[in-house]
Amino acid sequence: MRREDVKLRMLARRGDTGARLQLGEAYLTGGPGVSRSIPVGLEYLQAALPQARRQASVCIALHLPLRELLEHGLLETLRIAAEYEDVGRQKLAAWHLIRGELDLALECLGKCSAALPSHLASSVSAHTSGELLQALQILRAIQPLDIAEVMACEARQAMAMGQSHRAVRMLELLRDLPHAAHGPVMQQLIADLVHQAEVAGHGLGWLTVGCIEASLDRCAANGDVRACHVLGRALSGLPCAHLAPENLVNAQNLRKAAALLLRAADGGIVTAWLHLFRICSDYRSSVANPTLARFCLEKAARHGLPEAERRLGALVLRDATHIEPMEQGVALLHAAAAKGDVLAGLLLRSLLLPVGGDNEEEALAAIEAVQPDAPLLAMRLRLARVFGLTKLEALSVNPSTAMRPWGLVVGHNPLVAKARLCEPRAVPATTPDAQRCLEQAASMFSAQQGESLAPEGSLRARSLQMRRLFHRLQISETVFFASASSQQRDAIRIGTKWARRQQQILRQVLA
């Protein structure tokens, strides 16, 4: 270390303002015997600021670019420098321009003694913020990297405060500063802003489609799954909420879209599986693949997406020829309906047989009348009414073994002569009341709790008991039991036959 430097440090420790200014500038610029160190230089200059307000603030504004001034929280120091020298005014004006505060920027530029470039000098207020920033670059007051990083910082602060529209206005400067949009910082910001616009429901201002697509493409290549999801949807022609595809990309590219959506789905964005299903299931597209489409739909349903559960449930039911796939399809539809999917609920109700009695009060009164003499029969009557069971189904079903999370399965009945009518039937619980009733029935009929109740006896004995009670209490069977033809009953036991009767609903569900 040189002797002069040692003397300066000793003077600075004793509070010498001149030494602090000299050392601070030396550390900000670097030179012989002093390596550049911004924190050390700022420490000396800020210590000298109370005694040498002008020299210290101007030195800081002169030797630090705008991005570093803001990074170290020196905005107030920059305002002090703007009171004395053009370098402070120009950098402060640039900060206001990036934030969209044109009036404050013009006020700063109006105080500058240095002339602007000739094409702007005539009327500063008649030019855009982008043109004024270009002029400040020509004067070397700011650098292109300053614009990108400061804009990114300010825009992210606005987005964090829920003011995405302010961030959009800041990015509109890129029309006049295209070079600033090519850096990774700005491209990531644009990609994040597109996602924010989709969520918040606002537009993207005057950002060009080419700039948006290039930013999304760059971020997707860097592994940003949200950018993959947005770009994949746009390239496949699918809207991103209110943002139309043509506002995000110049042209469709289904092969690239499929790859991006697969990457997004693998990265944890589960709705991407559903978008993949849409483009792969379209036989007219260049990426049509029925097997892959079914796989993607199953993945989406496994993640609990209501639309996927409804679509997959409808497809499984449509192709079902025995009880196992019927149960699987009903379970999927029940899960979708529980999440508020109206069409899934409509499909479930199509699997129920109608009960003739519409008078709810009459049915409740009849059940209360039967309850003292035959509590198990009363529970069977409740089940029959809420699940649309026939008399034979209601009297023969065992709720404790027939119960499923989505409803019940009426088992094989050997007493029915016709083979197609004796097969098991899946009956969904379409209301919370039906599910509660089934749980109560299963609890009542379970072996542990059934010991305290009188045994029901055979099916014939149950039927005889019910007939005598109904005759004595003058109750009509139509209040509780579904009445349907053999064709109607057969149609809801087998999915392929059910699908032929429900073609209109299925077209609506699978559209």
**What DSSP state is assigned to residue 116?**
P
Question: Phi-psi bin for 340: left (phi > 0), alpha (psi -120 to 50), beta?
Answer: left
| C-alpha Rg value of the chain to the nearest Å | 38
pLDDT confidence of residue 132: 81
- Residue 33: the pLDDT is 73
- pLDDT digits 0-9 by tens, 275-328: 999 999 998 889 999 999 999 999 999 999 999 999 999 999 999 999 999 999
Decide if 306 contacts 280 (C-beta within 8 A).
no
| Per-residue model confidence (pLDDT) at position 275 | 97
CA distance 175 to 253: 26
DSSP string, 352-370: SPPBS---HHHHHHHHHHH
Least confident of 131-135, 237-241, 474-478, 486-490: 131-135
Residue 246: the pLDDT is 95
The predicted pLDDT at position 9 comes to: 77
Beta-carbon neighbour count of residue 35 at 10 Å?
9
Q: Per residue in 184-223, pLDDT tens? A: 888 898 999 999 899 888 888 878 899 899 999 999 999 9
Are 410 and 389 contacting, i.e. CB atoms less than 8 angstroms apart?
Answer: yes
Residues 6+ apart with CB under 8 A from 4: none
Whole-structure pTM value: 0.78
What three-state secondary structure class fits 243?
strand
Which token pair is 167?
Answer: 């961030």
Q: What is the largest CA-CA distance in the chain?
A: 121
Query: Coil, strand or helix: which one is 303?
Result: coil
DSSP state of 117: P
